[in-house]
Amino acid sequence: MIEARYRTFWRRFWAGVVDWVVVASSFFVLRQLMAISRIVIPEPAHGLWQVVGSLCSSAYSIILHGKYGQTVGKMILRVKVLDLSEQKLRMFQAFRRDFVPLVLNITYISMVLSRIDPTDVDKVLYSPAARILGYTNLGWFIAELVTMLASKKRRAVHDFIAGSVVVRCPRQPAQADAADTANAGG
């Protein structure tokens, strides 16, 4: 039986969705601000835009986990990443947690930038190296799911690498009082 504080699968899943929305929205807003300011990204620099996006996504995760133990999604869904002794996560652990996705992002970035014409996205997306990278990402995702579902503390591969664990956050007293009042019908 999994202890209640470690039952975090769905919360982590939805936190990931929230985090994706946060990062994607940030880039959408930035692009809109650039359009309003009439800052135009020249066609050859579109590959660089992908670089910025990839690195910002990793930086978002590493910095927020290292500083707060939570991303925005985890804050909303009340889960927190701690070290194995259930103390505050250190920045180096947060980096180790995102090391594999960061390496995969950097690999993709180097593929984009190594092309003679980085605007020809089809050459990058449909290259054999991109297929291998895609299968590697899929393999990583499956390994994450399998290890998380097989572990008594719901630790995924990245948690084993970082020496971390994800736990449910207790409700704050004000939240608990409001929930109790709502459940009592008053």
The residue range of the domain holding 126 is 4-171
Q: How many domains does the chain have?
A: 1
pLDDT given at position 69: 96
Residue 9 lies in a domain: yes
Residue 47 lies in a domain: yes
pTM recorded for the entire structure: 0.79
Residue 186 lies in a domain: no
pLDDT given at position 180: 52
Residue 52 lies in a domain: yes
pLDDT given at position 156: 95
pLDDT given at position 21: 94
Residue 28 lies in a domain: yes
pLDDT given at position 129: 78
pLDDT tier for residue 181 given thresholds of 50, 70 and 90: low
- The 10s digit of each residue's pLDDT in 124-165 is 667 787 788 888 989 999 999 999 999 999 999 999 999 999
Q: Is the dihedral of CA 157, 160, 161, 163 positive or negative?
A: positive
Burial class of 90 by CB neighbour count within 10 A (0 to 12, 13 to 18, 19+): middle
Which residue has tokens 């002794």?
85
Residue 114 lies in a domain: yes
pLDDT given at position 108: 77
The kind and range of the H/E element at 79 are strand 79-83
Residue 182 lies in a domain: no
Residue 96 lies in a domain: yes
Residues whose CB is less than 8 angstroms from the CB of residue 88 and which lie 6 or more positions away in sequence, other chains included: 69, 82
pLDDT surpasses 90 at 73: yes
- The 10s digit of each residue's pLDDT in 7-65 is 999 999 999 999 999 998 887 887 777 677 666 666 556 666 666 777 888 899 999 99
- Between 68 and 42, whose confidence is greater? 68
